[in-house]
Structures are given as C-alpha cells and as structure tokens.
C-alpha cells in the first residue's frame, strides 16, 4: 500500500484532529494517534488537503495567500501532501503559475526569498486550471482534476475553496461548486472561504448568505476578515478574559468612553473604481472597526470557541442603538479629503484621483458615536473613526477611564494630569500602554501623566505570523472562531443600512471635500465628540 493509495477517506475527519493536543484534551486519546506528536511545540498541524483558489491570477493570491501557505509549509504546519489548485480565466500552465507564485513569495513573504529546496517541494503540489466560472464545465473539470490529485498526492478528499475573486462572481462559483457536488463532504471535508465584502448593504449581504446557504452548511463557511487574524486583536480577548484586573473595571462604573481609531495615511492607491462604489463606511467602519468595537464590548464568553465568541459578538451588535431616528441619520459624520500634505509629500484630493468622479460624494472618512444599550455599557459612548489621508497610519483602541471621584490635591498640582487611559495599539508597534498619574520629583506636589508601556516586540522573541497564516491554518483545522458567522455579517450591516440608504438618496449632496489631506478629518467629527464634552485623542 503506497502513500498515495492509502484510503484516508476511511478515517473520519476527527481522526486527524486528535493529533493536536487541543482536541486531545477534549476527548480521550485514541489508541492509533501518532505518539510522537505529544509535547511538540507546534501542536497545530493541518491534515492533508487541497486548497482551490478562485481568482488565482489576482493580487491577493500572489501577495498574501501563497506566501502564507508557503510559510506554513516552511514551519511544517502543513503536510507534504498539501495541494494548491489555482483557477482563473487567464491561460497559464502549471509551470507558469508556479513561477508567478514564486515571484510573489520572493517579494512578499515575511520570511524573505523562497528557500529553493523547500519551495520546490511545495511547488510540486501546485496546479493551475484555466477556466471561466460562468461555464459549468469548469467545475466538472475541476472535480475530475481534484479526484485525480487525491489519488496522486494522498490529499485525502479534504477540500478548501477560496473565493478570492470580485464579489460579483461569488454567486456563480458557489452554484458551480454545488452543481458539481464539490460541496459534499462524503470523502473528506469541504469548506469555503469567502473574502470580504460580504455584500454592500443588509439586503445584498442577506442575498449572498442565502446563496451560500443553498449549497453549504454554515459549518462549512469561513468568512474571512484578516483583521481578526492579527495578534493584537486576538490579544484583546486575552487581555480582557485572562487578566483578573481589567474585567472588574470594564463597565460603565469605571469607563468614561471608548475611542476606536483606524487611520491610514495612504489614499486610495489607484483603486478609484472600487472605492467609488464603496467608501469608508463599507470599506472599514462596518467590518474592521466594528470587529474591534465588539471585542471590547462583548460579555465574557463561556468558552473561547467558534460559537461561544460569535454568540457574544452578535449580542453586542444587537444591543447597539439604531443610528436613525425617524428616518433621520444621527451620530454619523463623513468626510472626503481635498489636496494637502501627508508625511512630507504633497497629496492630491480624492476627486483628483484616477477613476474618481470630479463631483464624487463618496466618503473617505467616517466617524460614528455608538451607544450600546445594555447594563454594562449604558451611557458609555463608543466613538469610532476611520479615514484615508490622515496624518499617519495608526490603529488603536483607547479605553478612557473616569476621573478619580475626588482629587484632593491642589488645583495647580493636577494641571498636567489626565484621567487614566488604556491604549491598545494594533499597528504600528503592537502593544499597549496605560497612562497613570505620578508625582513629579521635587519639593512641590505636582502630578503628571506617565505611560506604562508594554510592547510586544520587546517581550516576545518570535515574530508573530501573518494574519492569513493563522486564519488559513484555522480553516484547515476546522476552527471558525476568527471567522464571521452569517448573523454577525447581517447584524453588522443592519445598523448602518439607514445611513447608507439616506446618503444614497439625499437630494442635497454633502459639501465635499471637507478635510485637507494630512489632517485628522473634518470639523464635523470634532463636533460629534466635543458636544459630549470630550475630545479625540491624538494617537
């Protein structure tokens, strides 16, 4: 019996998962598990599988997906039988596909240029099928090819379909997979990974989800938001739920408000065509910022697992007070950049960018004040803002605590003192800092704020993996915790639907541009927070 002909399909999926300690803890050790796996540093090794990438000639495949898979291979996290099949319309041979992907690895992999021998071994398992996804025949061809590869390479019938295509053709791919029976899990698992955007409003998101549900069970669906794969984002859960000192003060009694900032210094980088149909709310606020916000606001889950975490996140989304009152949009402001200077370079305005209408009213900045109507967060506003062409690239969550109830010190002692802030930096310089009041040395009593810093880079030796590496491995192992569930996506759209609708149908177009490139957004955003007696931080 050879490697390739071994009947892997006789073994249920769970058989392969026992090899990871995580799973082993939950069930008794099975007698046939590999005894050499015990105590290994890397406890998460994927079972053999084939990943089919639709949109294989696209940028994401070359920049992120294949470098992530290659790094997983380099770290021995995926087995030698792992197979990649690229599908897209361009005509290309296997060899050309491999060459193009190697260029991508050489240029974009966090571990530098591909190591020749390792790459050769990995690339042997890469294939390419040209095909139009509108043509049902493409999927039959694909199925035949996958069956052949299963035998040839011992990939055991496990399949992952990665939709890295424009969202417009998600539907036909899902349908094609269904019609050809590739959605079935009779030989091994069949999973589908979908890249955002998951729709462009509540209705389209629901329609897409319906389409997916027609062919795949929710347990097979992995909606990827790479933000969730970032170490600091995951560390938010560790910070809150592993440290006993934060959770007791994580509520309205001690927290004054929360600010979430995702600032970009870049513009739209030539993606005018896309951005004109999207805007900051759809592109950033509705997904990335809301992810961060829900992680801050959610209740402690009973278990950190797929449904434990996602149930709590959905509960937060459902507790957010609607942004529209009687059809009028409130608590959301938007902006669009005009020309200016960013990071020492002159930048053109949004309307001057390529592919953008000269009278565009698409927002490149959006800020919102959200209220979470539950016991924990009543009267604690969450201020969220994101924009392009802001002074610098920074993402952070700042939890501002309430002022001490009574400051017994003389008033001149506290002029330089601000309430405590716990700032969680996502990028750059991942880490956190807590500002605390300290006495300035000397004979006078003077208090000033100092930072107590924790930087990831300074405390841990290993480089964190790229978000895609983590997420792809999670999908191979069947862990959906860091992927979005159907109801999470739909609830996420529902709350912004009225704003999107109102903006699309308003008669009087906004007075854009309303902020200069290289500044912290429009004046309206300042008013949004200042009317509550608070100010935006300068992160």
Partner 1 sequence: MTTSQTAISSDGREPALEGFWQAEASDVPGIEKALTTLRKQYASPAAAREGQAGTRNSVANLVIYAGSEDDAARATAAMTELAGRHPSRTILLIADLAPGSPDVNASVSASCRLASGRRICYEEIRLRAAGASGPHLRSIVDPLLISDLPVFLWWTGDPPFRHDAFLALARLSSRVLIDSGSFRTPAATLQRLGRFMEDDAIDVPVGDLNWNRLAPWREVLAQLCDPPAVSELLPHLRRLRIERAVGAEGGVAPVAQSLLLAGWLASRLDWEPGRAAEQTFSGAYRLRLRSGGRDLVVELRGRLAASARPGEVQALALEADEDQHRIALEMSRPGEQEQAATSVSIDGAAPAERSVRLPVLSDAELLGDEIDRLDADRVFEDAAEMAGRLAALLPANADEGLA
Q: Which is nearer to partner 1, 359 or 462 (CB)?
A: 462
The H-or-E segment that residue 433 falls in is strand 431-439
Q: Is 531 one of the binding residues for partner 1 (CB under 8 A)?
A: no
- Per-residue interface string for the shown chain with partner 1, residues 86-115, x marking contact by CB under 8 A: -----------------------------x
Residues 430-469 that bind partner 1 (CB under 8 A): 440-441, 450, 453, 455, 457-462
Residues 531 and 58: their CA atoms lie apart, in Å, by 46
Tell me the closest approach of the beta carbon of residue 197 to partner 1, in angstroms. 33
Q: Is 76 one of the binding residues for partner 1 (CB under 8 A)?
A: yes
Strand residues in 277-393 grouped as ranges (E): 324-325, 328-329, 332-335, 337-338, 340-342, 345-347, 365-370, 382-387
For residue 283, give the DSSP letter. Answer: I
Residues 203-222 that bind partner 1 (CB under 8 A): none
CA distances, 76 to each of 79, 122, 123 (Å): 7, 11, 15
**Segment near partner 1 (CB under 8 A), from 5-13, 60-68, 225-233, 243-251?**
5-13
Sheet holding 126-130, edge to edge: 126-130, 83-88, 50-54, 159-163, 190-195, 221-224
Q: Is 274 one of the binding residues for partner 1 (CB under 8 A)?
A: no
The structure tokens listed for 16 are 């392969």
HSE (CB half, 13 Å, CA atoms) of 274? 13
Q: Which residues contact 165 (CB under 8 A, 6 or more apart)?
A: 54, 55, 58, 88, 133, 173
Residues 106 and 111: their CA atoms lie apart, in Å, by 9
**Segment near partner 1 (CB under 8 A), from 73-81, 204-212, 307-315, 475-483?**
73-81
Q: Which of 13, 21, 24, 37 binds partner 1 (CB under 8 A)?
A: 37
Tell me the closest approach of the beta carbon of residue 191 to partner 1, in angstroms. 20
Largest CA distance in the chain: 85
Tell me the closest approach of the beta carbon of residue 241 to partner 1, in angstroms. 20
Q: Which is nearer to partner 1, 111 or 361 (CB)?
A: 111
Q: Is 41 one of the binding residues for partner 1 (CB under 8 A)?
A: yes
Q: Which residues are identified as catalytic? A: 288
Q: Which is nearer to partner 1, 118 or 144 (CB)?
A: 118
Tell me the closest approach of the beta carbon of residue 116 to partner 1, in angstroms. 9
Residues in the site for partner 1, rule: CB under 8 A?
Answer: 1-3, 6, 8, 11, 15-16, 19, 32-42, 45, 48, 74-76, 79-81, 115, 117-118, 120-121, 154, 429, 440-441, 450, 453, 455, 457-462
């Amino acid at each position: 019996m050879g490697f390739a002909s071994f009947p892997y399909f006789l073994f249920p999926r769970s058989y392969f998962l026992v090899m990871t300690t995580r799973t082993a803890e939950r069930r008794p050790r099975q007698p046939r598990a590999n005894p050499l796996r015990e105590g290994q540093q890397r406890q998460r090794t994927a079972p053999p599988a084939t990943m089919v990438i639709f949109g294989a000639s696209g940028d994401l495949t070359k920049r992120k997906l294949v470098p992530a898979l290659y790094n997983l291979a380099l770290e021995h996290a995926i087995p030698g039988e792992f197979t990649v099949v690229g599908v897209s319309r361009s005509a290309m041979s296997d060899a050309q596909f491999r060459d193009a992907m190697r260029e991508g690895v050489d240029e974009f992999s966090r571990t530098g240029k591909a190591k020749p021998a390792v790459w050769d071994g990995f690339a042997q398992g890469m294939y390419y099928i040209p095909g139009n996804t509108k043509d049902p025949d493409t999927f039959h061809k694909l199925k035949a090819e996958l069956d052949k590869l299963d035998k040839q390479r011992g990939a055991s019938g496990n399949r992952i379909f990665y939709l890295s295509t424009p969202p417009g053709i998600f539907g036909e791919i899902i349908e094609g997979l269904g019609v050809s029976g590739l959605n079935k899990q009779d030989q091994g698992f069949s999973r589908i990974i979908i890249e955002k955007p998951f729709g462009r409003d509540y209705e389209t998101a629901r329609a897409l989800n319906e389409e997916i549900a027609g062919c795949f069970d929710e347990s097979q669906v992995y909606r990827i938001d790479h933000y969730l794969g970032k170490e600091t984002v995951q560390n938010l859960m560790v910070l809150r739920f592993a440290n006993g000192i934060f959770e007791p003060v994580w509520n309205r009694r001690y927290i004054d408000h929360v600010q979430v900032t995702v600032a970009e210094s870049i513009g739209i980088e030539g993606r005018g065509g896309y951005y004109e149909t999207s805007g900051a709310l759809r592109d950033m606020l509705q997904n990335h910022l809301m992810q961060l916000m829900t992680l801050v606001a959610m209740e402690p889950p009973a278990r950190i697992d797929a449904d434990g975490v996602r149930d709590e996140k959905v509960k937060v989304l459902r507790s957010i007070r609607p942004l529209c009152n009687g059809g009028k949009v409130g608590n959301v402001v938007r902006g669009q950049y005009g020309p200016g200077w960013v990071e020492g370079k002159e930048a053109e305005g949004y309307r001057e960018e390529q592919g953008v209408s000269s009278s565009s009213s698409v927002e490149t900045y959006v800020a919102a004040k959200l209220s979470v109507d539950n016991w924990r967060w009543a009267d604690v506003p969450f201020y969220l803002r994101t924009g392009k062409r802001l002074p610098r690239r920074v993402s952070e969550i700042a939890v501002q605590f309430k002022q001490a109830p009574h400051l017994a010190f003389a008033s001149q002692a506290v002029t330089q003192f601000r309430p405590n802030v716990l700032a969680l930096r996502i990028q750059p310089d991942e880490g956190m800092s807590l500002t605390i009041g300290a006495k300035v040395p000397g004979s006078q009593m003077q208090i000033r704020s100092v930072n107590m810093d924790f930087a990831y880079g300074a405390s841990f030796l290993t480089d964190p993996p790229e978000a895609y590496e983590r997420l792809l491995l999670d999908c191979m192992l069947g862990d959906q915790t860091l992927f979005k569930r159907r109801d999470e996506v739909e609830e996420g759209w529902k709350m912004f639907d009225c704003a999107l609708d109102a903006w699309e149908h308003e008669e009087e177009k906004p007075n854009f541009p309303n902020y200069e490139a290289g500044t912290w957004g429009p004046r309206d955003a300042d008013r949004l927070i200042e009317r509550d007696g608070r100010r935006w931080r300068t992160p």
